[in-house]
Amino acid sequence: MKIDRERDKISNFSAPGKRGVQGVQKSTASSSFEQELAQRRDAESQYRMQEILKDIDRLNDKLNRSLNVNDLMLYKKKVKQFLQEATARAYAVKQERGRNRRGRSLLISIATIDKEVELLIEDFIREPKEPVDVLATLDKIRGMLVDLMI
């Protein structure tokens, strides 16, 4: 089988850039849509985090009145839920940013909060603490959660 290689036939086929064919450009409408979608997702995530924080505050008030293990476990569950929402938000919306304003990484903050909640529950189960000490720890944890929202 013979391959016919004529120079003038080959020259009819040119690269896309040579004949004025322009590359595909990203339209501003789609990037505007992406920005709007990202803003809506961020707002929805912020709303869910605020609702979870309200639940945590209600549990905190309930624990102010009477300390018991069931409420502490529910508190732990709500804190975990808040942390899951915060990490999902951080990784979905702000993947490129690895540190927050204070220079600490998000994972270190979450690990610290997890450790505080675990210590609180372990200490409460092992030996009952003064309510003031428990409430101080709850306030400390809430402060760390609010820091994550910022």
Task: Please check the confidence at residue 39 and state whether its pLDDT lies above 70.
Answer: yes
Phi, psi (rounded to 5 degrees) for 55 = -60, -40
Higher pLDDT, 66 or 97: 66
Could you write out the DSSP letters of every residue in the chain? ------HHHHHTS--TTTTTPPPP---HHHHHHHHHHHHHHHHHHHHHHHHHHHHHHHHHHHHHH---HHHHHHHHHHHHHHHHHHHHHHHHH-TT--B-TTS-BHHHHHHHHHHHHHHHHHHHHHSPPPHHHHHHHHHHHHHHHHHHH-
Q: Domain extents for the chain?
A: 30-149
pLDDT band at 114 (very low <50, low <70, confident <90, very high): confident
What would the pLDDT profile of 93-110 be if each residue is shown by its tens digit?
444 344 455 555 565 667
pLDDT of residue 30: 60
Arithmetic mean of pLDDT, 129-140: 81
Task: Please check the confidence at residue 28 and state whether its pLDDT lies above 80.
Answer: no
Task: Please check the confidence at residue 12 and state whether its pLDDT lies above 60.
Answer: no
Task: Please check the confidence at residue 6 and state whether its pLDDT lies above 80.
Answer: no
Say if domain 30-149 classifies as CATH 3.40.718.10. Answer: no
Phi, psi (rounded to 5 degrees) for 84 = -65, -40
